[in-house]
Amino acid sequence: MTDTALERVPGASAGDYIELLKPRVMSLVVFTGLAGLVLAPGHIHPLIGAVAVLCIAVGAGASGAINMWYDRDIDAVMARTAKRPIPSGRVGADEALGFGVTLAALSTLVMGIGVNWTAAALLALTILFYIVVYTMGLKRRTPQNIVIGGAAGAFPPMIGWAAVTGDVSVASILLFLLIFLWTPPHFWALALFRNSDYTRAGVPMMPVVAGPDSTKRQMLLYTLVLLPVAAAPYFVGIAGPVYLAVSSVLGVMFVGSALRVLRSTDDGPAKKMFGFSILYLFLLFALMIGERLVVGGGA
């Protein structure tokens, strides 16, 4: 990995450092982490709950910054990422690494001292999994990078749950599985219409290695497996009948999106599926949060 043409231009702004945190990714992580906290049985002081959510956000941002440090070479050749702070020269690579490591350590330490050490251990595992297992170990080596690496993005609701209960349960594992199984069709939809980017960067995403047709079939399979998993929160008592009904409809729509992608000969359906996948996951967790706040109760 070289830093050719990646020298820092003096005068990095606060916005550049915020961009290192991948705020759009962070927002989804924070939301699902909050969901785990709200859905968990028991009670947590609002201030401690706020600290837990803040630590999840900072930990996610730290992962993003270290990811950008490590991937600065491939980010520089991909149209989607070339304007990020490091490849564009607005922030130095060493600064980004130091920034990320500092935030990772602080978020884990504050979570342990201010909330509990189970939540802190899960947060540390999430950060290490994203950086070491996914970014450094899988992303450049296997088309299963997103499948296995997706676990990192699935941990936040378990962290939120542990912040309240101090443990891991079947219900929190189901929330993990919901995101874990959602991740491949979500990212492969993106990879289908960004295939040239990944090919140019040498990243073995599924469409690059297995081809679009195989990728589309696997996307459909994941959406089908996701149907019963998305319904499962109702059966373990962390979601109600409204969630069950709406999630079933959304699930069928997600499968329909995958079918349209499978039959397509252009990138249009893949772009639409990528957008819908974000809405799909957001609505599932919003429904669970909404029902819990309105109806109350616990798993």
Write out pLDDT tens, residues 137-187.
Answer: 988 888 888 888 889 999 999 999 999 999 999 999 999 999 999 999 999
Rounded distance between C-alpha atoms, residue 273 and residue 294, angstroms: 31
- Tell me which range, 53-57, 192-196, 209-213, is most confidently predicted by mean pLDDT: 53-57
pLDDT of residue 298 exceeding 70:
no
Q: Please give the Cα distance from 230 to 225 (Å, whole number).
A: 9
Contact 85, 19 (CB under 8 A): yes
pLDDT at 5 over 50: no
pLDDT for 195 equals 84
- Confidence at 49, pLDDT banded by 50, 70, 90: very high
Identify the pLDDT of residue 131: 95
Give residue 259's identity as a one-letter amino acid code. L
Secondary structure E strands in 10-52: none
Report pLDDT for 2: 46
C-alpha distances (whole Å) from 268 to each of 134, 179, 182, 193 are: 29, 24, 20, 8
pLDDT reported for residue 110? 98
- The residue count of the chain comes to 299
Position 12 confidence tier, pLDDT thresholds 50, 70, 90: confident
CB contact set of 144 (below 8 Å; sequence gap of 6+): 138
* pLDDT on residue 297: 55
How far apart are alpha carbons 147 and 261 in whole angstroms? 19
Task: Name the pTM for this structure.
Answer: 0.91
